[in-house]
Amino acid sequence: MGPLEGRVRVAIENVKPEINGGRFPAKAIAGDRVTVGADIFADGHDILASMLLYRREDEPGWTETPMRLIVNDRWQGDFTCGETGSYRYTITSWVDEFRTWCSDLRKRVEAKQEDIGINLRIGAGIIRNAAARAQSTERKQLTRWAEALESDITGLEDKIKLALSVEVSALMDKHADRSHAFTYPKELAVSAERKKAGFSTWYEMFPHSCSGTGEHGTFRDCEARLPYIAGMGFDVLYFPPIHPIGYTNRKGKNNAVIAKEGEPGTPWAIGSEEGGHKSINPRLGTLADFRHLVAEAKKYEIEIALDIAFQCSPDHPYVREHPEWFRRRPDGTVQYAENPPKKYQDIYPLNFDTDNWRELWEELKSVVTYWAEQGVRIFRVDNPHTKPFVFWEWLISEVKREYADAIFLAEAFTRPKIMYRLAKLGFTQSYTYFTWRTSKSEITEYLTELTQTDAGDFFRPNFWPNTPDILHAYLQTGGRPAFITRLVLAATLSPNYGIYGPPFELMEHIPREPGTEEYLDSEKYEIRLWDIGKESSLRNLITRVNSIRRENPALQSNHNLWFNAADNGQILCYSKHTDDLSSIILVVVNLDPHHGQSGWINFPLEAWGLDVSLPFQARDLLNGGDCSWQGEWQQIELDPAASPVRVFHVTQSPGL
């Protein structure tokens, strides 16, 4: 170590966010404040100064903002990602000679030491050194202050007042001696995406069931459904694959191995003589029809999301044109997809181990960019965990280079570390285990993991109470209260959530057979006729829930998710609030869909900055009605037959 390095005394550790040692970027939304923390300390008792340095990736110079000491050598600073794009940040810190001297001077003054003249002369020397680093007017000002501290004319009290003044401190901070500063050796990254990446409301729908007559639906039929979907407050309409469907080994009703004549087949068996991933199932319409649908949806402030399923039916043109992209068995036949005991004879997986992997990658990238050219910017990716990580990192990066506003949702119901890895690689949002978390402890533990650990820096959950593949036992047996409960949990626990409709709002709950999560008469294999005007539909409730989400900023982030105490194991209580406390939401849920539950719940008024001695108002946004309460503990009763959930907006006026 050279002599200059020997005078670097600061250590910087445990920087957050830092994903995999800086290998991956953290996630943010354009306009959001990014908070950076670090353990910063040095030997001895000298005072430190620390700066957070940040810049857009394409900017050459750093912008600085001071960091503040929080507690126990933990420092924190923040910056705003003003636009979408990639940002870089790091930290620099140094022993601040002037601040250390000021602290020493205050102690001497408080101790009423008489002879502090020599200390004032030391301070004058520090200020003179700063003057040498300053320019023009500021150099002259610093020099005058140094002379005043050395002057025999200036009184002692005036010297002390000057030395500890805000004006001197500010200029000394500007021209601090950083010659022995330590800068964290890594430039860390944060990726800022558009608002819908962080707050979105999804509705999944099969176009083939949209005709309203039982005939095969079209994109024009989907257009007719837009007012219904927009009226409920959804801003993303997601379609399963819209491509031609293969005929070989086509699946029939309820996943029958052999389809009957006229049965549509599953949309995930992509490809036929009519085309592949860049083609449209002619029964849905034409490319012009699809473009028209995309344009019409925008009028309702809805974006169309498409399914990206990189797999093929045996009839896909790829099978004929690129046989090297598929794995063959010893008997020469192509290996179809299997997940024992399940068999998917109508689907061939792509072989990413092929020697021609570069050509395969480029072709698959062109599939995504093709649909982006048609106006699609949101993609739900089917089973990404069955394709190489490096492929997704490359593809998402390549697509975003051209379409920076692209959003990718990872449908990866797999092991936690794999789900997290996909999020780090670039997936904007991720499916989760929410569907299977139904008890108070399961929900609390899982949401604590997602929001209060490092996962919150890179993993954006998207909660779905149901999907075409998953009809959970809770919905099968819990009746209407179960659907209401899961809807409100998904919509208020996660800023991004979705439902598979119309089965959800119509409360479809019959499984194909006991013990399975498959729907009876699943829409994956047949055309269904839905009575969306049915009086018992949850349509009005869903509309209200989505309106509450839009109107209350606290529900548009997981930044301040708290789990509040409740003395009943069947009652889940949690809250969210904005930093300025202008929006405080507290949700109380009876997790038992069959029985009424009551208990005491906690309103943490003091932690929220409210006055415990004053009454507060809790307005039930979901069911209506105001409560005027006082004190942090209130008793509540939830009857699932009436409403298993209450969503309170909490306010307090000094005049109450």
Number of H helices, E strands in the chain: 16, 30
What is the per-residue DSSP string for 87-133? EEEEEEEEE-HHHHHHHHHHHHHHTT-S--HHHHHHHHHHHHHHHHH
Q: Which of 411, 627, 401, 397 is nearest to 500 (CA)?
A: 411
* Strand, coil or helix: 528: coil
Residue type, 137: T
Per the residue annotation, which of 411, 508, 523, 632 is the catalytic one?
A: 411
Could you tell me how far CA 239 lies from the centroid of its own chain?
22
Nearest-angstrom CA–CA distance, 612 and 284? 60
User: What stretch of H or E contains 409?
Assistant: strand 407-411
- d(CA 175, CA 392) in angstroms, rounded, equals 47
Q: Which amino acid is at 641?
A: A
For residue 227, which of 314, 297, 172 has the smallest C-alpha distance? 297
Identify the active-site residue in 382, 505, 526, 632.
Answer: 382
φ, ψ of residue 309 in degrees (nearest 5): -120, 100
Neighbours of 547 (CB within 10 A): 13
Residue with tokens 């290996």: 335
Who contacts 574 (Cβ-Cβ below 8 Å, separation ≥6)? 447, 492, 493, 561, 562, 563, 564, 586, 587
DSSP E strands, 452-596 = 462-463, 496-500, 562-563, 571-577, 584-590
Known catalytic membership, residue 411: yes
Across the beta sheet with 200-204, the strand order is: 429-430, 407-411, 378-382, 303-308, 236-239, 200-204, 496-500, 462-463
| Kind of pairing between the strands at 407-411 and 496-500 | unpaired
How far is 585 from 309, CA to CA, in rounded Å?
A: 38
CA–CA separation, 580 and 582 (whole Å): 5
Task: Report, in angstroms and rounded to the nearest whole number, the Rg of the chain calculated over CA atoms.
Answer: 31
Cα within 13 Å of Cα(291), Cβ side: 9
Cis peptide before 502 (omega within 30 of 0): yes
3-state secondary structure of 337: strand
**579 in active site:** no
**What positions carry a catalytic annotation?**
382, 411
